[in-house]
Chain A
């Protein structure tokens, strides 16, 4: 390899930044999954499809508001994000009521059932939106780049996604550690029986938690439309990486999830430049398996005695 030092720095900076957009979407996905898994020990194989719900919602909002003139085309994304959350949240709630709550304490059945759900959802997407990938037009204020040096080129939509991820992550942290609802979630995680015995309606907590996790995946979907086009099976692209992040981060720990999403996204993005994308994935996977053999509980674990 004959890269000069300066070239290498620029490559790292740019791949690093490409990695940051990936990191953002991955983190949003993983946060949702980690919340759900931490609270209910439910592994949601359809989590990627909830992201796609958010992505299609964003697409629909862009189409509709695009018809309202240039104002709509410029600012649809600000309406699409909360709506993506809301739609994924509501679908999540319906899924919890119709399916998940009948399968608590049966992890294997839940795995199969949510996998089936993922296939059904993909088919629904195909029937409604067609097999072709769609992508909303990027508003002009996000179309462009910031070039701090002539060699470094940082896309504005990437910055926007990062800002969004930061806001959502802080929001989740606030919800979990500062709100009454978070207290209910954390106590239910610690002991379902005892939470009921202090008067908490744990079923309702489960339902809201599942829906919230799905809603955050919906926001990930809105961000996803800015870095890639959306097809019926787009969710499957992210689900494996998302599981890796959650397992590696030590399920249920928000800081662990953040660090693990960062390492995995950055590792892959930088390796990709040198090795191509499949080798980068294989190498990342091997490293993670190696680390998990040394630390089966993930990167972070609680130090409180139980």
Chain B
């Protein structure tokens, strides 16, 4: 279980995340919806420790991570796929995936990662920077997955990606969730994508959760209203 309580964070004078609580169960997929600038990226960076939390608690299976540096949180079971993928452009695809093995014993890339992303196998010797946006997104997810995370954090995985590929990503995430039984927290602006993968949806507005419902009970119109200005 991944638990966040009373989380606050921000930049300099401005507070962006304002006392936010969320709990995600094992093997649950939680989507956090929100317009541009509502604090999704700030939340995710605070969860992995790239931004320091000003207050509150972050805990994974009872182990408190709030004060831990980023690399220790990853070793404890968090994995992060940032907005804009942030693969290492100067490293090859294989090297990019290898960086994800930092916190696991074996430094050999498990071959089942290429069953999920066959295109990465075809491109394995290319530089990450020379892949298309969709391929880079797959690479970023692969890099996060090889660390065998308990919680996968994905920040706007569909941003700048064409609709047919978005469908592929949705299918992949569902496969991952089913095969690996991991917990997924994903931030999004595209509701149709979220409705395909999420067990539960939340809406974040100005750093606070303003709406929450399981997918089956979720009112798509209300969420759409939140997402459009």
Pair from one complex: yes
Q: Which residues of A contact B127 (CB under 8 A)?
A: 304
Q: Is the Cβ of B70 less than 8 Å from the Cβ of A197?
A: yes
CA distance A175 to B147 in the complex (A): 23
Q: Report A190-223 residues with CB < 8 Å from chain B CB.
A: 190-191, 193-202
CA distance A197 to B153 in the complex (A): 11
Q: Report B100-150 residues with CB < 8 Å from chain A CB.
A: 100, 102-103, 107, 127, 129-130, 143-144, 147
Nearest B residue to A252 via CB reads B90
CA distance A302 to B69 in the complex (A): 31
Q: Is the Cβ of A198 less than 8 Å from the Cβ of B102?
A: yes
A306 at interface by CB-CB < 8 Å: yes
Q: Is the Cβ of A197 less than 8 Å from the Cβ of B74?
A: yes
Q: Report B37-72 residues with CB < 8 Å from chain A CB.
A: 48-50, 69-71
B80 at interface by CB-CB < 8 Å: yes
Q: Which residues of B contact A183 (CB under 8 A)?
A: 91, 95, 98-99
Q: Which residues of A contact B98 (CB under 8 A)?
A: 183
Interface extent on A, as a size class?
20 to 34
A305 at interface by CB-CB < 8 Å: yes
B191 at interface by CB-CB < 8 Å: no
Partner of B99, one of A193, A195, A305: A195
Q: Is the Cβ of A190 less than 8 Å from the Cβ of B75?
A: no
Q: Which residues of B contact A187 (CB under 8 A)?
A: 88, 91, 95, 99
Partner of A190, one of B50, B91, B130, B143: B91
How many residues from B make CB contacts under 8 Å with A? 28
Q: Kindly name the residue among A184, A193, A202, A306 whose own CB sees the greatest number of chain B CB atoms within 10 A.
A: A193
Q: Which residues of A contact B80 (CB under 8 A)?
A: 197
A180 at interface by CB-CB < 8 Å: yes
CB distance from A199 to the nearest CB of B (A): 4
CA distance A199 to B80 in the complex (A): 10
Q: Which residues of A contact B213 (CB under 8 A)?
A: none
B82 at interface by CB-CB < 8 Å: yes
Q: Is the Cβ of B103 less than 8 Å from the Cβ of A199?
A: yes
Q: Mark A167-195, 1 if CB is under 8 A from B, else 0.
A: 00000000000001001101101110111
Q: Which residues of B contact A200 (CB under 8 A)?
A: 71, 99, 102
Nearest B residue to A302 via CB reads B90
CB distance from A230 to the nearest CB of B (A): 38
* Chain A interface, >50% SS class: helix
Q: Is the Cβ of B102 less than 8 Å from the Cβ of A197?
A: no
Q: Is the Cβ of B147 less than 8 Å from the Cβ of A180?
A: no
Q: Is the Cβ of A304 less than 8 Å from the Cβ of B102?
A: no
CA distance A193 to B87 in the complex (A): 11
CB distance from B152 to the nearest CB of A (A): 12
Partner of A306, one of B75, B89, B107: B89
Partner of A180, one of B50, B70, B107, B143: B107
Q: Is the Cβ of B107 less than 8 Å from the Cβ of A186?
A: no
Nearest B residue to A177 via CB reads B95
Nearest B residue to A200 via CB reads B102
Q: Is the Cβ of A202 less than 8 Å from the Cβ of B86?
A: no
Q: Is the Cβ of B48 less than 8 Å from the Cβ of A197?
A: yes
CB distance from B62 to the nearest CB of A (A): 21
CA distance A199 to B86 in the complex (A): 15
Partner of B130, one of A186, A189, A305: A305
CB distance from A300 to the nearest CB of B (A): 13
Q: Is the Cβ of A190 less than 8 Å from the Cβ of B71?
A: no
Q: Is the Cβ of A194 less than 8 Å from the Cβ of B88?
A: yes
Q: Kindly name the residue among B70, B82, B98, B103 whose own CB sees the greatest number of chain A CB atoms within 10 A.
A: B70
CA distance A187 to B91 in the complex (A): 7
CA distance A202 to B127 in the complex (A): 22
Nearest B residue to A305 via CB reads B129
CB distance from B100 to the nearest CB of A (A): 5
Q: Kindly name the residue among A184, A186, A199, A201 whose own CB sees the greatest number of chain B CB atoms within 10 A.
A: A199
Given contacts A183-B95, A183-B99, A186-B91, contact A201 B71 (CB under 8 A): yes
Q: Which residues of B contact A190 (CB under 8 A)?
A: 88-91
Q: Report A244-274 residues with CB < 8 Å from chain B CB.
A: none
CB distance from A202 to the nearest CB of B (A): 7
Q: Is the Cβ of A193 less than 8 Å from the Cβ of B50?
A: yes
CB distance from A241 to the nearest CB of B (A): 28
CB distance from B141 to the nearest CB of A (A): 12
CA distance A184 to B102 in the complex (A): 9
Q: Which residues of A contact B147 (CB under 8 A)?
A: 198-199
Q: Is the Cβ of A304 less than 8 Å from the Cβ of B50?
A: no
Nearest B residue to A198 via CB reads B99
Q: Which residues of A contact B143 (CB under 8 A)?
A: 198
Q: Is the Cβ of A197 less than 8 Å from the Cβ of B103?
A: no
| Given A195-B99, A200-B99, 6 other A-B residues pairs in contact with their CB atoms under 8 A | A191-B88, A196-B50, A197-B48, A197-B80, A199-B74, A304-B127
List 10 A–B pairs whose Cβ atoms lie within 8 Å, in order of A's numbering: A186-B95, A187-B91, A197-B48, A197-B82, A198-B74, A199-B102, A199-B147, A200-B71, A200-B99, A201-B69
The 5 closest A-B pairs by CB, nearest first: A199-B74, A199-B102, A199-B103, A196-B70, A304-B129
